Amino acid sequence: MYDVCVAGSGVAGATLAREAAKKGLKVLLVDRLPANRVGDKVCGDALGSHHVERLGLSLPRESYFAVYPGIEIYSPDMKSRLSIVAEGLSAYALNRVEFGQFLLKLALDSGCEFRSETHATGLIIQDGFVKGIKLLNLKDGSKEEVYAKVTVDATGSSRILSKDLKTLGFDQELDDDETLVCYREILETEEAPPLPTIYLDMEDAPGGYFWVFPEGENRVNTGLGVVKNAANPRLLFEKWVEKLPCLKGKIRRVIHRGGGVVPARRPIDSAVWNGFIAVGDAAFMVNPVHGGGIGSSMTGGFLAAEVIAEALENGREDEATLWGFNAQYMSKYGAKQAALDVFRIFLQSLNNALINYGLAQGLIKSEDLLKASMGEKLRLNITEKASRFFAGIGKPWFLARLNKTAQLMEDFRQLYINYPSVEGFREWRSRVRVFHERLHEEIGRA
């Protein structure tokens, strides 16, 4: 019998396993990948250094290609550019496999047991508790049931174990507008942009964006995410390559190509049940505006390990005891995600003309966008000139809606900051639902 069994050795699972083992718990970590491929995931591979610092990690040099002092965002007409550069902030261009190997090694060094090429196929549920996990050995096809006091779903966006639970909190699926379907290539190129660059375009990247993230002078990680069922991201990718001067005619070779899914929304309403916790993409821990989830998933894994250790020390693994994880995650990151989910809905309602106008008029300054993405209140720069401008183009409602969005972001954040106890969950959840439905009515339509 293990204390903790973690399915999935991505950034969330490996972090949780490491922290739990460090606290003296008996931990089993499994992944369907061969050990030397752990970390191999289609991703933009950008990670804000503040996440690394917050977790007290020191990255070995081989786990990243480069560090950049900021990021640039272009309007659809390419006429406006926001440079988000601030002192003390930087972004790693990760070498994702090496980074994954580093996190796995830390977990192993902490004393956690690891099984590679092992597929988690389902949960063992008895007497209203998750008691462990069903495993399939991908090398020899053998099956096994492993028992643990707490089982963790860290299988990423497939959420393979959470889908087994139909309990309140886990009974939710992603809506199409919350699902970013991505296509990505790693390219060797003649040159690379000086900073990671994002291109907004509601026609050629509907509901998402196109990115070119340099990984040194002659290599880029580039791709796009679009809302589910909007368009084929690969076909759109080919269009982008033809239209961007930094890529057109400058590609020497394709190093890797592939696809993936990002759950871009507020966190799951509850990530715990009796003997069970979900972390990372499996619990929707991604920033809904830029789709980054590496840092927040590691934070989720870290917090979950603390709550599990404390619960097991008290001989408890029931939902009410593990509930502390929900409250902790919401206060550390989930409330920010909720606010940004409001902003996402607003952004997805815009067309290219409005984004062009908004950025050209400087409605949001770079530093304010940076602060908002770090969880601070969204500050707007609405001048008399901008008001006249939007009235002049027959869209006076645009500024009112932007103001309304900022207010709703704050209101939604407060709802998550005041995350309830297990007794108040049903009532809180219905308030979230009503609020969220209202959002689409009030700011989700152009």
Ligand X SMILES: Cc1cc2nc3c(=O)[nH]c(=O)nc-3n(C[C@H](O)[C@H](O)[C@H](O)COP(=O)(O)OP(=O)(O)OC[C@H]3O[C@@H](n4cnc5c(N)ncnc54)[C@H](O)[C@@H]3O)c2cc1C
Point out which residues bind ligand X (CB under 6 A). 7-13, 30-33, 38, 41-47, 119-120, 154-156, 158, 160, 182, 184, 223, 260-262, 280-282, 286, 291-295, 297
**Of residues 163 and 431, the one with the C-beta less far from ligand X:** 163
**Of residues 122 and 362, the one with the C-beta less far from ligand X:** 122
In this structure, are residues 58 and 65 in contact, taking their beta carbons and an 8 Å threshold? no
**Of residues 264 and 408, the one with the C-beta less far from ligand X:** 264
CB of 383 to ligand X, least distance (A): 33
> How far apart are alpha carbons 131 and 145 in whole angstroms?
10
User: Dihedral sign, CA of 418, 424, 430, 431?
Assistant: negative
- Give the position of tokens 């009532």: 427
- Give the position of tokens 């977990």: 107
In this structure, are residues 264 and 286 in contact, taking their beta carbons and an 8 Å threshold? yes
Beta strands in 40-178 (DSSP E): 46-48, 64-68, 70-74, 81-85, 91-94, 113-115, 118-126, 129-137, 143-153
What are the backbone dihedrals phi and psi of residue 174, each rounded to the nearest 5 degrees, phi first? -75, 135
**Of residues 304 and 399, the one with the C-beta less far from ligand X:** 304
**Of residues 47 and 227, the one with the C-beta less far from ligand X:** 47
Assigned token pair, 295: 């840092």
CB of 28 to ligand X, least distance (A): 12
User: Dihedral sign, CA of 145, 278, 3, 21?
Assistant: positive
CB of 58 to ligand X, least distance (A): 19
CB of 88 to ligand X, least distance (A): 19
CB of 203 to ligand X, least distance (A): 20
**Of residues 14 and 350, the one with the C-beta less far from ligand X:** 14
Number of Cβ within 10 Å of residue 441's Cβ equals 8
> How far apart are alpha carbons 418 and 431 in whole angstroms?
12
- Give the position of tokens 């998402």: 208
Assigned token pair, 433: 């639902």
CB of 52 to ligand X, least distance (A): 11
**Of residues 299 and 356, the one with the C-beta less far from ligand X:** 299
CB of 360 to ligand X, least distance (A): 27
In this structure, are residues 128 and 273 in contact, taking their beta carbons and an 8 Å threshold? no
357: Cα separation from own chain's centroid: 29
Q: Using CA atoms in the order 154, 159, 161, 162, what is the torsion angle rounded to 10 degrees?
A: 100
**Of residues 229 and 383, the one with the C-beta less far from ligand X:** 229
CB of 162 to ligand X, least distance (A): 11
